[in-house]
């Protein structure tokens, strides 16, 4: 019942989720509503499973050890085998994603407050330029700078650039 409720909310929020997924260049905004969320076996990460369906099950090749563990004559056994095989197939990508998130967390932890302040300043300037200039060049520039500041928390490259710029500014201010 809760799963069906999440799907309905996701369908209602689709006009909002589509621009978000275009901005982030991924389907992550939709995952919460349309995929089943599970914790990894070691409890360190979260992965998303596609919903079980007979068509997806028939397309999938299931390893023999997973077949031996589950009773494939029942739907419950097929669903368990489907989930285990999906996890095994995506385990390497999941481990890489967990490593990437740890690296990103280390990068963003040292200058988080500074970047949040920069983000709020750019958002404020964007709103002010939108109010005073409608859609003009300053508005587009401040919107772009706001998005880049927001991307600090999701992109390693942008986080490295921001950290390097903040370190150079700190060194410059300490030098004088």
> Does 176 score more than 60 pLDDT?
no
Three-state DSSP class for residue 85: helix
Which is higher by pLDDT, 113 or 135? 113
Q: To 10 degrees, the CA torsion angle through 33, 40, 94, 46?
A: 30
Report the range of poorest mean pLDDT among 4-8, 64-68, 82-86, 97-101.
4-8
Q: To 10 degrees, the CA torsion angle through 49, 56, 24, 93?
A: 60
CA separation for the pair 125, 127 (Å, rounded): 5
Over residues 139-163, the mean pLDDT reads: 85
Q: What is the pTM of this model?
A: 0.51
- Predicted confidence (pLDDT) per residue in 17-75, tens digit: 777 777 666 666 666 666 666 665 566 556 565 666 677 777 778 888 888 888 888 88
């Amino acid at each position: 019942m809760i799963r069906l409720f999440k799907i309905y909310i996701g369908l209602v929020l689709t006009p909002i989720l589509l621009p978000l997924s275009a901005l982030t260049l991924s389907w992550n905004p939709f995952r919460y509503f349309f995929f089943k969320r599970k914790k990894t076996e070691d409890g360190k990460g979260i992965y998303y499973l596609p919903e079980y369906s007979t068509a997806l099950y028939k397309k999938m090749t299931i390893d023999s050890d997973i077949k031996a563990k589950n009773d494939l004559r029942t739907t419950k056994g097929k669903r368990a085998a489907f989930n285990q095989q999906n996890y095994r197939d995506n385990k390497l990508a999941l481990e890489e994603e967990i490593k990437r998130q740890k690296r990103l967390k280390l990068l963003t932890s040292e200058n988080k407050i500074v970047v949040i302040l920069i983000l709020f300043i750019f958002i404020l300037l964007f709103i002010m330029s939108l109010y005073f200039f409608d859609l003009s060049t300053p508005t587009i520039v401040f919107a772009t700078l706001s998005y880049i500041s927001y991307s600090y928390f999701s992109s390693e490259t942008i986080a490295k650039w921001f950290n390097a710029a903040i370190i150079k500014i700190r060194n410059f201010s300490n030098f004088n």
